[in-house]
Copies of this chain bind each other. A is one copy, B any other.
């Protein structure tokens, strides 16, 4: 390994989850800006979209080695190239998807994952009325085939779109077969060993926060009466 990639690696590992979230959003903004023909993005513009201070945007950019120009901003092309490397989007990660109900089907049909470095290699369901269905580019496979696919293709990532009451069981099983990262869409908190990476997408939590804030904002208006 040469020195440059060692530095790169260190940079990659030192990013905190919030910094990573900001950079990921900057990448999305730059993708859109590129499509719209914007050649540069100012730190003020990015700070506004991220709801953070400009200083933090400049710091983030400095950490990943993107150099801005005074009174112009950060070149869109450079943001795209650098963040694609830093976010690890130059390599594709294979995953399996388990659970092909309405949410799982939507994920299978979602064309945007490749842009963010993920490819769904195969999709599974335990419901035999769903197995064999053709969803997007996938034929839904029975759970019985899951083990051989994980082992043959050395799959490390599982996307779970199963019902809450089976999610833990499925999780334990895929981990026992070699999965080390879980992207969980089931509305439940899963217990996983410390060496397993887990990310929960819990729509119910988002919804509760939205409705709570809404009630607070309308309630506060009401309480002035």
Contacts and interface: CB of A to CB of B under 8 A. Distances in A.
Give the copy number: 2
Q: On chain A, which size bracket covers the interface? A: 35 or more
A21 interface: yes
Most buried by B among A88, A197, A217, A219: A197
A222 B197 CA distance: 17
Given A207-B183, A210-B197, A215 B12 contact: yes
Contacts of A115: 204
A44 interface: no
Contacts of A212: 12, 15, 20, 87-88
Q: Interface of chain A, helix or strand or loop or mixed? A: helix
A34 B15 CA distance: 40
A205 B25 contact: yes
11 contacts: A20-B209, A49-B191, A50-B189, A118-B211, A157-B211, A157-B214, A180-B218, A181-B211, A183-B207, A199-B206, A199-B210
Interface of A: 9, 12-13, 15, 17, 20-21, 23-25, 27-29, 32, 35-36, 48-51, 87-89, 93, 102-103, 105-106, 109-110, 112-113, 115-118, 156-157, 164-165, 180-181, 183, 187-189, 191, 195, 197, 199, 201-220, 223
